[in-house]
A and B are shown apart, each in its own frame.
Chain A
Amino acid sequence: MTVIDEAARTAREEPSSTAPLLSVRNLVQEYVTRGPGGVKAGVVHAVSDVSFDLMPGETLGVVGETGSGKSTLARAIIQVERPVSGEVVFQGQDLVTLDRRKLKATRARMQMVYQDPFGSLNPRWRIEDVVAEPLVGHTDLTKDERGARVDELLDLVGLDPRQYRRRRPMELSGGQAQRVAIARAIAPEPALIICDEAVSSLDVLIQAQVLNLFEKLRADLGLSYVFIAHDLATVKQVSDRVAVMHLGQLAEVGPAAEIYQAPKHPYTRALLGSVPVLDPATGAARRPVPLTGEPPSPLNPPSGCRFRTRCPIAQDVCAEVEPRPTPIGDGGRRVACHFPLGE
């Protein structure tokens, strides 16, 4: 475990304790849609002016509906697609302006885990090759050293190396395959892991195992996470802070406990109210209170506040002036609403 201990130390100490690990500033990502004949038909405002900081060892949960820009945000952070504008400063380096070669070196310290483990594992490779691949690209370990490290990594994610290293992805269950994807993600000793709906396709019992694994790795390796999911309770379980996204914008960001206990943005309140609640201790259930209306199209977002068409407390000003994320209190909480709740 020496390699991993070192990794944990560097991950914790390299950036000074007060500097954010990841700092996203005014990030904008847009896609052009084309009609027949390749004529520009419109612009999808996928991510509009999003800013947040992630401190080392911290987990930021990102919640929102389909089309709120959660996944686009993840892709813009790791530079799968270069953002239209804005900064993504990771460990002191702005990735947006970094050239491809340097970017590749940075990516070893920033890994991603996706929703469908079978879609992200090469079906023809053995598990040992899948997990060793990032070691080939990002380290100069010898073949034997890589083999030892693969055993160590499989052990760490709770798979017995003797039993699993020679298997292929199709011989695994969904939960086991997701563990392999996680082992591969932590192989190059990253400081940050971006989880895009990483537990959404798993059954509840397996989901609980994988969530606990994320927690264990966070504690053991000092990892930071950006944890993207549509399930609010799952996000609460793992996150220190939560960003609520609505149609490409940050509706609200702040400490998880505060946001879940006292949402300030009407959209956050609506999301929380839509969750069917079952108290496992008493068996008491609470029916959801549905929001009325359909989410607006990101192709043609409403003027002013993008939530106003569904907002129960919208006023005239909401259609005219776009609310900016404004600090509330001293807990690092920001809310983009003209009429924050409970104020």
Chain B
Amino acid sequence: MTTQDRMIDLASADDATAHDGGDEPAPVLTVQDLRVTFSRGGRTIRAVNGLNYQLRAGRTLAIIGESGSGKSVSVRALLGLLPPSAFVSGSARLGQTELVGLNEKAMRAIRGDEIAMVFQDPARSLNPTMNVGQQITEAIGMHQRLDKKAATDRAVELMKLVRLPAAERRFEEYPHQLSGGMRQRVMIAIALASDPKVLIADEATTALDVTTQAQIMELLADLQDRLGTSVIMISHDLGLAACYADEVLVMYGGKAVEQAPAATLFSHVRMPYTKALLGSIPQLTTPSHGLLSVIGGQPPDLASLPQGCAFRPRCPNASDQCLTEPALTEHEPGHRYACWHPVGAAGAGGSADGDRARVEEVS
């Protein structure tokens, strides 16, 4: 699919929403009740437990969570990138195509073509024995029939698109000759080779320096503006999500616990878990030797999740009511959260300061 087709696509997507009467672009990807379990040594590990979200055209969705929250597994499940021990159920529709249960052959036509992925470690995702130009050309060849000259030209064009310095010269270089940031640019060029509808960035900047991270994120944001790609950004970095995402989904124990447009979520945090995450990040402006507000305990064991709310054992607001699982409900316009005692609600958490004091007590 060429960029021009994409423009037409976008235009028709806009038309569709115009008919709906909403100002939101049409959803590109709709995930409903996605579940992933692994069987390991007779134990069932429940990695993702009923995830719902919509990714809209040209928008960025950030999925936030700690290690083991199911954020990576949930997107890998979309692309059939999980090991055979994984069992995936639910639904994930990309346009008219159902991704869950799709056979490998059909999946291969989608993977890299309609949904592309950029991983955390560019050094391990690239082939060390092929020069980067060939690797990009190969990716182009997977999706388009072009003669050698045209494919090479397109590869150089992509390398320029991702602002690799001296693209023609870099074409001949091998991954080990590039810096981490340049390798990640090559990965993005490969991901963009087929002009995908959806780009998944799985901790794509975590391994990079803060200076390089800023360059890559600005590049992604710029490319998104120009190409209209929808982006799922998986990260543990709340600051990064706040800067670049339109919509944020916070995961804990394989579930979405809070979901809202970025500005709404970070200005009115409701879920005590999100609040705890925010309180635990050091800030550039805080005085030295201050103590961070921390919560005790460990993330839940996905093989034996606690009864009710998975965050209950660590939650400062927990009560007996939390033994019944709270559903992810739209309590305020556009703001969903799964909590019986949200932060800032009357009679539950009290004031924000009160919460902080209680959080400290628990630690």
Kindly identify which residue among B165, B281, B283, B288 contacts A256, using a CB–CB cutoff of 8 Å: B288
| B288 lies within 8 A of A295 (CB) | no
Q: Which of A65, A175, A240 has the most CB of B within 10 A?
A: A65
| A65 lies within 8 A of B211 (CB) | yes
Kindly identify which residue among B218, B263, B269, B292 contacts A208, using a CB–CB cutoff of 8 Å: B292
Per the 8 Å Cβ criterion, residues 190-234 of B in contact with A are: 209-215, 217-218
| B363 lies within 8 A of A209 (CB) | yes
Closest to B269 in A: A283
Kindly identify which residue among B243, B280, B284, B298 contacts A260, using a CB–CB cutoff of 8 Å: B284
Per the 8 Å Cβ criterion, residues 282-314 of A in contact with B are: 282-295
Q: How large is the interface on A (under 10, 10 to 19, 20 to 34, 35 or more residues)?
A: 35 or more
Q: Which of A59, A204, A270, A283 has the most CB of B within 10 A?
A: A204
Point out the residues of chain B lying under 8 angstroms from A260, CB to CB.
284-285
Point out the residues of chain B lying under 8 angstroms from A272, CB to CB.
284
| B237 lies within 8 A of A276 (CB) | yes
Point out the residues of chain A lying under 8 angstroms from B298, CB to CB.
173, 175
| A291 lies within 8 A of B288 (CB) | no
| B211 lies within 8 A of A291 (CB) | yes
Contact A290 B243, CB 8 Å, known A204-B66, A237-B290, A238-B288: no
What is the number of contacts between chain A and chain B, taking CB atoms within 8 Å? 160
A144 in the interface, Cβ–Cβ < 8 Å? Answer: no
| A232 lies within 8 A of B292 (CB) | no
A205 in the interface, Cβ–Cβ < 8 Å? Answer: yes
| B210 lies within 8 A of A232 (CB) | yes
Of B38-46, B133-141, B175-183, the one contacting chain A is B175-183
| A204 lies within 8 A of B288 (CB) | no
Per the 8 Å Cβ criterion, residues 20-34 of A in contact with B are: none
| A288 lies within 8 A of B218 (CB) | yes
- Minimum CB–CB distance from A214 to chain B (whole Å) comes to 10
| A212 lies within 8 A of B209 (CB) | no
| A205 lies within 8 A of B280 (CB) | yes
- Chain B, residues 255-279, CB within 8 Å of chain A (1/0): the string is 0000000110111110000001111
A66 in the interface, Cβ–Cβ < 8 Å? Answer: yes
Closest to A289 in B: B214
| A278 lies within 8 A of B243 (CB) | yes
Contact A237 B280, CB 8 Å, known A283-B242, A283-B268, A283-B269: no
CA distance in complex: A275, B214 (Å)? 7
- Chain A, residues 231-265, CB within 8 Å of chain B (1/0): the string is 11110111110000000000000001100100000
Instruction: Report which B residues bind A (CB closer than 8 A).
Output: 66-67, 165, 179-182, 209-215, 217-218, 236-240, 242-244, 262-263, 265-269, 276-296, 298-299, 363
With A205-B66, A257-B287 known, 18 other A-B pairs at CB within 8 A are A65-B212, A208-B282, A231-B210, A233-B281, A237-B286, A274-B213, A276-B242, A277-B239, A277-B284, A280-B278, A280-B279, A285-B243, A287-B244, A288-B243, A289-B214, A291-B211, A291-B214, A294-B165
A-B pairs, top 5 by smallest CB distance, nearest first, are: A283-B267, A283-B266, A208-B280, A285-B242, A288-B214
